[in-house]
Each structure stands twice: as structure tokens, then as C-alpha cells.
Amino acid sequence: MRPAEPSDLPLLGGVEAAADQLFIDRFQPETWDQPATGEWRAAQPGFLLVAGRPPVGIANVLVEVGSAHLEMLAVHPDHGRRGIGTALLEACCAAAAAGGHEELTLTTFANVPWNAPYYLRLGFAVVEEPTGVLARHLEHEQLLERYDARVGMVRRLGR
């Protein structure tokens, strides 16, 4: 796991698009948003980690209003089920803790096996009444509720 480099950025949208295909196959939506570019993600406050060279996994953590929020975690399906997502997630937790954050939050689908159930196994807990940044992210993602319930989750970080 490593910080994304400028040469990685043009490749990251392709990794995310390939991972999104799993959602498209599951939900059969009429339309699905195109992934953000690596350049856009790198310009956001926070950090961008990748796995592999060239990248086969990506994790984007936003740092906003003093909180660390996992905006996106994606692994190319050709490289799935090998622990890459878990390693990226653990690297995000370590980096957030090193940055002085006591927790990492995220929003995800409640009933998709590689979403909330996966994060529960990795130490995250559902936040029953989200507030602050987490509530704002859930509100922003409200349209995704048409596919499956969305939940906010948190993992406390050791220091």
C-alpha cells in the first residue's frame, strides 16, 4: 500500500469503474455515475492510497471538519478476494490515526455482502443516528437508497 503518485492518477478511474461493475450487475440500474478521476480525487483534502504498480486497488480518505472519512474503496475484480481491500482499509486506518484522528467513518450499502457486512467484520460499527460529516455524506448519497439502504459506519482507531 502506498500513496498514489501522479503517474497512477489517470489509471484510477478505470479501477473504480471495473469495481463499480459489481454494483451494476447487482442492481441493474438504468444509469450509473461515472467514477471520479484520479486527478480529482488527489485534489481533495485528505489522502489517496493505492495497491499495486500499476494500481489494482484504491482508497480515498477525505479529511474534513477534523474528521477522516473513507470516501471510496475499490479493488479491480480481477484482483478481488486476495486481501487487497482489507490491506488498503488497514492502511487508511493507520494513516488516519497517524494524522491524529480517533475514528474513520464511511457510508455504504447495508445489505450488499462486500459493503456493510464486510466492514462489520473489520471492526466498523453502524452509527444509528449519524451527525456531522457522516450525516452530510448520507444526505448527499440519498439517491442511492433506491438500490439498497445506506448506513453510516465508524471504526475507532487506536493511537
In the structure, what pLDDT confidence band is assigned to residue 159 with cuts at 50, 70 and 90? low
On the question of pLDDT at 91 being above 80, the answer is: yes
CA 139 vs CA 30, 77, 97, 110, 118: distances in Å: 22, 29, 26, 15, 22
**8 A C-beta contact, residue 4 and residue 48:** yes
Q: Which pLDDT value is given to residue 60?
A: 98
Of residues 159 and 120, the one with the higher pLDDT is 120
Residues 78-87 have pLDDT tens digits of: 998 899 999 9
| Residues above pLDDT 90, as percent of the chain | 92
Residues 32-56 have pLDDT tens digits of: 889 999 999 999 999 999 999 999 9
The full DSSP string for 35-52 is PPPHHHHHHSSEEEEEET
- Residue 80: name the closest of 25, 153, 1, 15 by CA: 15
Q: Which domains does the chain have, with CATH numbers?
A: 2-156 (3.40.630.30)
Residues 64-75 have pLDDT tens digits of: 988 999 999 999
